[in-house]
Amino acid sequence: MNSRVDTANRVVLTLLGLVLLATGGLGLALSFGALGAAPRLLPAAVRNYPAEQPWFWWAVAGACAIVALFALWWLFAQLRTNRVARLDLTGDDRDGQTLVHAGALTDAVENEATELRGVTSASAHLLDRHGRRLALAVDLADYADIAEVRAGLEDRVVAHARQATDDTSMPVDIELRPAASRRGGRGLL
């Protein structure tokens, strides 16, 4: 998920929460008589209004359709990611095209990372967030030497990924996850 979707979620959910809070507060105030004598729940004119107006149910159906379309748009926005499917490494179209599938690159990065001593598993994703970047999460064994793993990742794995993408300055985010943190332990006594 990207930050634009996260911001939209926060704004929409905050506004929805405020509307529901205000409606609930108004309902409570009316039920306790804070705004004067509580009227009947629905006066006769309101109860009969839909039957007297032939367009009423069409308007309700239209409003429901708009809400459903908004909800569908919101659902699709949640599914969008910043992941890259293919890398176009073409320098000059006259020389032909060079496309690298991101899955091939990330699989190679994961395999090379798991070959390092002390690494139990790795997960890599190529993202397009303000420019192309590689995100690498590495799970470490109990006996792993973090400095050694980090040096191996930076010197071999990241260097090979940058060489494969022909981008020597491609940012790489590395997350090292010690075994104690995966078990819920604190790591320190």
pLDDT digits (tens, 9 = 90+) for 39-79: 666 778 887 888 898 899 999 999 999 999 998 888 887 77
Which residues lie below 8 Å from residue 144, measured CB to CB, with a gap of 6+?
A: 117, 118, 119, 178, 179
The answer to whether residues 174 and 138 touch, using CB atoms and an 8 Å cutoff, is yes
Residues in the chain: 189
- The CATH architecture assigned to 86-182 reads 2-Layer Sandwich (3.30)
Would you kindly state where each structural domain of the chain is located, as residue ranges?
3-79, 86-182
Which residues are registered as beta bridge partners of 127?
Answer: 83, 133
List phi, psi (to 5°) of 69. Answer: -65, -40
Compute the average pLDDT of residues 158-169.
Answer: 86
DSSP 89-157: --S-GGG---EEEHHHHHHHHHHHHHTSTTEEEEEEEEEESSSEEEEEEEEE-TT--HHHHHHHIIIII
pLDDT of 187 strictly over 60: no
- 73: tokens are 């748009």
Running DSSP on this structure, what letter comes out for residue 42?
S
**For position 102, what pLDDT does the model report?**
78
- 117: tokens are 């001593």
Q: Tell me whether strands 172-177 and 132-140 are parallel, antiparallel or unpaired.
A: parallel
Compute the average pLDDT of residues 152-172.
Answer: 88
Mean pLDDT (the chain, rounded): 82
**For position 84, what pLDDT does the model report?**
67
Position 107: which residue type? D
Residue 132: pLDDT band with limits 50, 70, 90: confident
- At residue 60, the 3 state secondary structure works out as helix
**For position 121, what pLDDT does the model report?**
92
CA dist 160 and 137 (Å) reads: 17
pLDDT of 113 strictly over 60: yes
**For position 103, what pLDDT does the model report?**
81
- At residue 33, the 3 state secondary structure works out as coil
- Which range has the worst mean pLDDT, 1-5, 128-132, 158-162, 180-184? 180-184
Q: 52 or 127: which carries more pLDDT confidence?
A: 52
